[in-house]
Amino acid sequence: MRPSGRQPDQPREVTLTRGFTRHAEGSVLVSFGDTQVLCNASVEAGVPRWLRGKNQGWVTAEYGMLPRATHTRGGREAARGKQGGRTLEIQRLIGRSLRAAVDLKKLGEFTITVDCDVLQADGGTRTASITGACVALIEALQYMQRKKMIKTDPFRQLVSSISVGVYKGTPVLDLDYPEDSAADTDMNVVMTEDGKLIEVQGTAEAEAFSRAELNGMLDLAESGCQALFAKQHEALGIRR
Amino acid sequence: MRPSGRQPDQPREVTLTRGFTRHAEGSVLVSFGDTQVLCNASVEAGVPRWLRGKNQGWVTAEYGMLPRATHTRGGREAARGKQGGRTLEIQRLIGRSLRAAVDLKKLGEFTITVDCDVLQADGGTRTASITGACVALIEALQYMQRKKMIKTDPFRQLVSSISVGVYKGTPVLDLDYPEDSAADTDMNVVMTEDGKLIEVQGTAEAEAFSRAELNGMLDLAESGCQALFAKQHEALGIRR
Amino acid sequence: MRPSGRQPDQPREVTLTRGFTRHAEGSVLVSFGDTQVLCNASVEAGVPRWLRGKNQGWVTAEYGMLPRATHTRGGREAARGKQGGRTLEIQRLIGRSLRAAVDLKKLGEFTITVDCDVLQADGGTRTASITGACVALIEALQYMQRKKMIKTDPFRQLVSSISVGVYKGTPVLDLDYPEDSAADTDMNVVMTEDGKLIEVQGTAEAEAFSRAELNGMLDLAESGCQALFAKQHEALGIRR
Amino acid sequence: MRPSGRQPDQPREVTLTRGFTRHAEGSVLVSFGDTQVLCNASVEAGVPRWLRGKNQGWVTAEYGMLPRATHTRGGREAARGKQGGRTLEIQRLIGRSLRAAVDLKKLGEFTITVDCDVLQADGGTRTASITGACVALIEALQYMQRKKMIKTDPFRQLVSSISVGVYKGTPVLDLDYPEDSAADTDMNVVMTEDGKLIEVQGTAEAEAFSRAELNGMLDLAESGCQALFAKQHEALGIRR
Amino acid sequence: MRPSGRQPDQPREVTLTRGFTRHAEGSVLVSFGDTQVLCNASVEAGVPRWLRGKNQGWVTAEYGMLPRATHTRGGREAARGKQGGRTLEIQRLIGRSLRAAVDLKKLGEFTITVDCDVLQADGGTRTASITGACVALIEALQYMQRKKMIKTDPFRQLVSSISVGVYKGTPVLDLDYPEDSAADTDMNVVMTEDGKLIEVQGTAEAEAFSRAELNGMLDLAESGCQALFAKQHEALGIRR
Amino acid sequence: MRPSGRQPDQPREVTLTRGFTRHAEGSVLVSFGDTQVLCNASVEAGVPRWLRGKNQGWVTAEYGMLPRATHTRGGREAARGKQGGRTLEIQRLIGRSLRAAVDLKKLGEFTITVDCDVLQADGGTRTASITGACVALIEALQYMQRKKMIKTDPFRQLVSSISVGVYKGTPVLDLDYPEDSAADTDMNVVMTEDGKLIEVQGTAEAEAFSRAELNGMLDLAESGCQALFAKQHEALGIRR
């Protein structure tokens, strides 16, 4: 029995609200149940120093959590003077995942930074971030094409992400905070539409997990990501 | 005359949406036109070290701006490793203003921190923050009373804030970004319901201003704050 | 009755000692009673990155307080690894005030930085800093003219600054530390010689203040600044 | 096929040298081919603040790389003033892995910190760190038992770690730097002796990977970890 | 021969002005020619954590240079966010030297911090700091005795410091900036009144120095320190 | 009686192991008894900004200590976010000493950075670092000649370093940690082969020292450095 009453393979309700803010070239508010993340994609001319002159672009991400996104207030990272290890780890993951969606060669010497800021947290902020950021990224690519900044479309493939875990012995999909904090195993999966894997990050929180459990979780993740791709298509207005 | 077509004494549309997020003891999304600030009030037991044992509480504020709240992306303060001077100045102003709304003696040894995070910026983020944060603060005080954390109501008076300025020679109310960046003078005023002043911060951006101009701006601010008090009462459901 | 026995409209004794140190292009030790600030103006070729190629100069300020300028020792900001919010707020105020004294277009691509370091503090360090820094700035402009670094004089107007407040119900001029820490309202005013305002920063420390009180304080500030202009002229040897 | 001439399922030579330094309660120099990591375990009384009074211990890790461990010199993190995201991510991974080896309840209120400092890098520094740190951790537990700091043995199970990847289309075991930088997919696996998984972190560097490829890599990892367990047993002098 | 026209064994004019600021328990402005350092001694109850309960006091120093103490403006350490290596090295030297002047056991659980802030620099700021700080320290000890904070006098012996060097082949005393920047060897010596050594720090800037040159420099330092002790006695009003 | 049973003029056993790691242009593991320091010299094109265009090279050093190099674990400087004063002081000393070994004019616009990382500490880490780093530096110069990066040999002279002190009233050579922490005086000496001095840094830890004691210590240092030069020659395979 899941705390939320959901079936093991039942994800939370997902919404992808485009145009949530005005200034960004791509702006999506994504919600996975009570988890809400604002994903803003910014297009800037130029690339990081180590990429200059290589005739390609760059896609990166930054992640943050508002201090009271969580049940109890967390310190503001800007006030503490540094981003924590968890933050850095998550933004590296989001960035890598997004780069799988784009042909950097076709992007030209532009950098797209997707800021994922968690307004409200209830588990799965990194998977919601990747799923929403991918839509914001595509909005930004569409903006660049409208503005004639690029000639060809750098879009390669959609990516989406969902968490799976073993909760009280049963593999479950899309863990919320109460499940996440009590799960034996927690795994985040990033996939492409053809069912291939971009990232698999599984951690035994309490008990080591078997290959069979891993496969059970990956099956769940596959169905979960397919549902997310449908939501992404719907938000983007692309006929599948 | 004004870029927005507004009359000199006409403020932008203001909304105060309570309960915008779930976890905070007070949560208000305030908008002054396109400026949107999420104000979350958090109640925590204890006071800063220098107040311990003095049998009183503390109210403070933190301010931040999402990187793409602005027309072009600004660096993330957490990534740069420190809060800028403007940020620190604004959060000190919000904190002082909120303390005028509360009797700290009646608060007991609790700290209320109001996080003001700008989701979208179009001028006046600090005045919107103060106006929204005051409502979130009162929500938090109501929560504390319901939970029997305090016996008497520490609320003293509403505070609200609005900007005024001299734009192309004319005093105007509630400057948006295009006016703000071109104004001769920019002034932020924080008031109480009985028309008294909590803070007056006027800056000659281009030309020094006269006492007469100062008085013209203060008249505008007074009418602007009265309209904000009505909005705050409405949001709080208090009969005036 | 003021702790110092002064009349409400009586400022402290003010001195402006030019040439206090040897290396700076402008060097003034300013004292407002027991408050002593060393103001050193440095001329450097070049402007900040965001001003390059705009054919104008820049004037800025930095502020610091020696650890034992105060009654009890305060931590050294360099050792703590950052400047506090109060420091940043004050140096931004000094910089803005000084820029009102100069035509940046006539300055050429030079930066003048005025360091205001408080050797001894007894209230009013920011107003003394502005008043002394203006003289150091003019010394630096004179140096630049002597050295043929600029062809025309960028000086526009003197600025001076003084604090006013409401102490035990009475508006008073030029608060010292005992008054400052007990005042109901504290206001810093920066003016030009023709009686116009550059900055007005008023804060209700204990009780909100009325428009009438505000006007009473501004009247005092006006007379106080006029006395400071006389001191500045005297220090500069300019016949008024 | 492999730059080193190794077979796809052939790991590098592994050595585990105990007692490499004198002061640490556990000290192991681990080498996976040319990758060399010094793992020092330190026992300290007390636990982090958030664990106090919970009657359990804590195991954590820190990771660093000497500036010239790599082909070209990297900046010293201490001089830059912060640990990078990669460093933080790796030390979080090592810490989680080591906690799977120990029953924290039996450890008492002690903290064991295992410092993993890379003397020379040639790919696989995090997997070598985990494998060597586990031995250093056990040495430290043995020290605690000899010194009567604990009554029962907190050791639960060995953990070891190895990398696998898809290099030029073929799954390979224990990637060295030339393979690591050219691999399509890179995966780090942490296992227990009974073949269960503690961590699985797979990343598509160039091309997404299929479930079949994932399984191929996990098969390799399993055989690789078994060989590492044999090395750990040998180093510890435990009959298997 | 010397840029200043001084004889090789001739020090600059030295002044020690007591009571330069009002708040510190000891306050001395020391000048060695154009080098001017404000030395403020602060007495605070308590000792650093690692000394608690050992029934002794602590004496330490902090050193800073105003940004325009030098010929060209140096960056403010507080703004850069850290103290440089030179600063830390100097303040460690001053602290060690001052501890030789005091019996920490007799000081009780108090900490005396002597802040040495360079108002104007012309070579020899560390030697001037030590010489002036010793007088400020003694003033603070006298204050503690008057206030009955200590029963016995912790003063052990005067310390003073002077620089010596080899300039154009000749050993010279008390180098000013032009000499210091061109010297072959630069040495700072801290001595006691009976001619013993507390610190010797000699550095070959251009050419290695011989034992004979070292002895020549130490002879000069000895005579220089004796003259400084006379100045310290005079400032303290102690009959020698 | 020395704790180690050594004679007063007897140094610890010294080893200089070349080629300890593979990537650095010079790599030496130096041991002075139980003190072990890895010295890696890295050659990089270019010089620091302030040396550009002066047609010379630069030699510098960085110093670090592994957290568990010491008897009890010390915090990791990278984690604390800054290098301590002791670290900065030591790396400045190593850098100055190494620059005495090289003609920077002949080095061309290259920078050689020697990283000295202490693997195990037992007193004398800075003297061991200088002695080992000098050999690693020469290895790097030989590498540059082989690679035709420079035409002439920039090597000027060997430098070596050893500590001396007064322990229980007797001058002793090459203090280990038990002596170092109990010595009355501690002195580090850097010398050239012809017996001249590069650095002399003597500190009275407990009691001031006389000129006679200084001379006794320098005599010991001279003999100690001669033994180190023999070791350096042997390691470099240079016939003396």
Cα distances from D118 to residues A89, D62, D123, D161, E210, in angstroms, run 20, 11, 11, 16, 42
Question: Is B126 among the annotated ligand-binding positions?
Answer: yes
Beta strands in E46-184, from DSSP E residues, in sequence order: 58-65, 110-120, 159-167, 170-173
In the block, residue with structure tokens 């966010």: E81
CB-CB under 8 Å, B88 with C204: no
Residue F88 has its nearest CB partner, among E88, E194, E209, at E88
- With CA atoms as reference, the chain A residue closest to B19 would be A120
In the block, residue with structure tokens 């790691």: F21
* CA–CA gap between residue D137 and residue A218 (Å, rounded): 33
Residue from B21, B23, B34, B68 whose CB has the most chain A CBs within 10 Å, to mutate: B68
Nearest partner of C231 among C145, C163, C134, judged by Cα: C134
Q: What residues in D contact F71, CB-CB < 8 Å?
A: 23
* CA–CA gap between residue E196 and residue F220 (Å, rounded): 20
Cα distances from E19 to residues C34, E16, E26, E135, in angstroms, run 13, 10, 7, 11
pLDDT per residue rounded down to tens, chain B (240 residues): 899 999 999 999 999 999 999 999 999 999 999 999 999 999 999 999 999 999 999 999 999 999 999 999 999 999 999 999 999 999 999 999 999 999 999 999 999 999 999 999 999 999 999 999 999 999 999 999 999 999 999 999 999 999 999 999 999 999 999 999 999 999 999 999 999 999 999 999 888 999 999 999 999 999 999 999 999 999 999 654
Residue A1's pLDDT band (boundaries 50, 70, 90)? Answer: confident
Q: Cα C158 vs. chain centroid, distance in angstroms?
A: 11
Q: What is the pLDDT of residues F144-180, one digit of tens each?
A: 999 999 999 999 999 999 999 999 999 999 999 999 9
The mean-pLDDT minimum among A33-37, C236-240, E120-124, F80-84 falls in: C236-240
pTM summary value? 0.93
Q: What residues in A contact B117, CB-CB < 8 Å?
A: 66
How many residues are there in chain B? 240
Cβ neighbors of B102 (< 8 A, separation 6 or more) are: B57, B59, B112, B137, B141, B154, B155, B156
Q: What residues in A contact B36, CB-CB < 8 Å?
A: 21
Residue from D59, D63, D66, D68 whose CB has the most chain F CBs within 10 Å, to mutate: D68
The neighbouring-strand residues paired with D190 are D161, D199
CB-CB under 8 Å, E204 with F198: yes
User: Residue E174 burial by CB count (10 A; 0-12/13-18/19+): exposed, middle or buried?
Assistant: buried
**Pure H helices in chain C:** 77-80, 85-99, 104-107, 125-146, 177-180, 211-236
Cβ neighbors of E88 (< 8 A, separation 6 or more) are: F84, F85, F88, F89
Cα distances from F234 to residues F18, F34, F135, F225, in angstroms, run 11, 21, 10, 14
Pairing of strands A197-204, A185-192: antiparallel
Report which residue type is found at E230.
A
Pairing of strands D110-120, D58-65: parallel
* CA–CA gap between residue E59 and residue A95 (Å, rounded): 51
Q: What residues in D contact F115, CB-CB < 8 Å?
A: 66-68, 73, 76
* CA–CA gap between residue C113 and residue D5 (Å, rounded): 63
Chain A CB within 8 Å of residue B73 CB: yes
pLDDT, average across residues F80-99:
96
Nearest partner of B67 among B59, B76, B58, judged by Cα: B76
In the block, residue with structure tokens 């672009």: A57
Using DSSP, state whether F125 is helix, strand or coil. helix
pLDDT, average across residues E153-176:
96
The phi-psi region of residue A53 (left if phi > 0; otherwise alpha if psi is between -120 and 50; otherwise beta) is: left
CB-CB under 8 Å, A73 with B78: no
CB-CB under 8 Å, A218 with D211: yes
* CA–CA gap between residue A43 and residue C201 (Å, rounded): 39
Cα distances from B50 to residues A75, B58, B104, E42, in angstroms, run 19, 11, 14, 21
Q: What is the pLDDT of residues C32-61, one digit of tens each?
A: 999 999 999 999 999 999 999 999 999 999
* CA–CA gap between residue E185 and residue E213 (Å, rounded): 9
* CA–CA gap between residue C64 and residue C114 (Å, rounded): 11
pLDDT at A240 over 60: no
Q: What is the pLDDT of residues C81-100, one digit of tens each?
A: 999 999 999 999 999 999 99
On whether the CB atoms of residues D110 and D57 are closer than 8 A, the answer is yes
CB-CB under 8 Å, A201 with D208: no
CB-CB under 8 Å, F78 with D40: no
pLDDT given at position D240: 46
- With CA atoms as reference, the chain C residue closest to E69 would be C23
Residue from F25, F70, F73, F90 whose CB has the most chain D CBs within 10 Å, to mutate: F73
Report which residue type is found at B62.
E
Residue A34 has its nearest CB partner, among B22, B115, B117, at B22
pLDDT, average across residues E147-153:
95
Residues 35-64 of D with CB under 8 A from F: 36, 38, 40, 42, 44, 62, 64
Residue F240's pLDDT band (boundaries 50, 70, 90)? Answer: very low
Chain E CB within 8 Å of residue F218 CB: yes
Known binding residues of F for phosphate are 86, 124-126
Cβ neighbors of C157 (< 8 A, separation 6 or more) are: C100, C101, C192, C193, C194
| ipTM value | 0.95
- With CA atoms as reference, the chain F residue closest to D88 would be F79
Using DSSP, state whether E92 is helix, strand or coil. helix
Report which residue type is found at A113.
T
pLDDT given at position C176: 97
Locate A106 and state its tokens: 């076709």
pLDDT given at position A64: 98
pLDDT given at position A239: 54
Chain B CB within 8 Å of residue A78 CB: yes
Q: What residues in F contact D113, CB-CB < 8 Å?
A: 67, 73
Neighbours, chain B (3 or more CB pairs < 8 A) = A, C
In this structure, what DSSP letter does residue E176 have? Answer: -
CB-CB under 8 Å, A73 with B21: no
Q: What is the pLDDT of residues A220-232, one digit of tens each?
A: 999 999 999 999 9
On whether the CB atoms of residues C98 and C59 are closer than 8 A, the answer is yes
Locate A211 and state its tokens: 């290959």
Q: What residues in E contact C82, CB-CB < 8 Å?
A: 78, 81
pLDDT at E240 over 60: no
Q: What is the pLDDT of residues E217-230, one digit of tens each?
A: 999 999 999 999 99
* DSSP track, chain A: --TT---TTPPPPEEEEET-SSSSSEEEEEEETTEEEEEEEEEEES--GGGTTSS--EEEEEEEE-TTSSSSPPPPHHHHTS--HHHHHHHHHHHHHHHTTB-HHHH-SEEEEEEEEEEE-SS-HHHHHHHHHHHHHHHHHHHHHHTTS-SS--B---EEEEEEEEETTEEEES--HHHHTT-SEEEEEEEETTS-EEEEEEEESSS-B-HHHHHHHHHHHHHHHHHHHHHHHHHHT---
On whether the CB atoms of residues A157 and A193 are closer than 8 A, the answer is yes
Helical axes F85-99 vs F125-146, angle rounded to 10°: 50
pLDDT given at position F159: 98
On whether the CB atoms of residues A135 and A232 are closer than 8 A, the answer is yes
HSE, CB side, 13 Å, CA atoms: give it for residue B157: 15
CA R_g for chain D: 18
* CA–CA gap between residue C97 and residue A61 (Å, rounded): 39
pLDDT given at position C205: 85
Helical axes C125-146 vs C211-236, angle rounded to 10°: 40
CB-CB under 8 Å, D92 with A89: yes
* CA–CA gap between residue C147 and residue C236 (Å, rounded): 19
* CA–CA gap between residue F2 and residue F14 (Å, rounded): 18
pLDDT at A84 over 70: yes
pLDDT per residue rounded down to tens, chain D (240 residues): 899 999 999 999 999 999 999 999 999 999 999 999 999 999 999 999 999 999 999 999 999 999 999 999 999 999 999 999 999 999 999 999 999 999 999 999 999 999 999 999 999 999 999 999 999 999 999 999 999 999 999 999 999 999 999 999 999 999 999 999 999 999 999 999 999 999 999 999 888 999 999 999 999 999 999 999 999 999 999 654
Question: Is B111 among the annotated ligand-binding positions?
Answer: no
How many residues are there in chain F? 240
Locate A27 and state its tokens: 């702006």
* CA–CA gap between residue D180 and residue F10 (Å, rounded): 50
Cβ neighbors of E149 (< 8 A, separation 6 or more) are: E43, E108, E110
In the block, residue with structure tokens 């799976």: A164
Residue F224's pLDDT band (boundaries 50, 70, 90)? Answer: very high
* CA–CA gap between residue F126 and residue F128 (Å, rounded): 5
Residue A200 has its nearest CB partner, among D84, D91, D200, at D200
* DSSP track, F30-84: EEETTEEEEEEEEEEES--GGGTTSS--EEEEEEEE-TTSSSSPPPPHHHHTS--
In the block, residue with structure tokens 């969902």: A162
Neighbours, chain A (3 or more CB pairs < 8 A) = B, D
Residue A73 has its nearest CB partner, among B42, B69, B83, at B42
CB-CB under 8 Å, B198 with C210: no
Q: Cα B1 vs. chain centroid, distance in angstroms?
A: 27
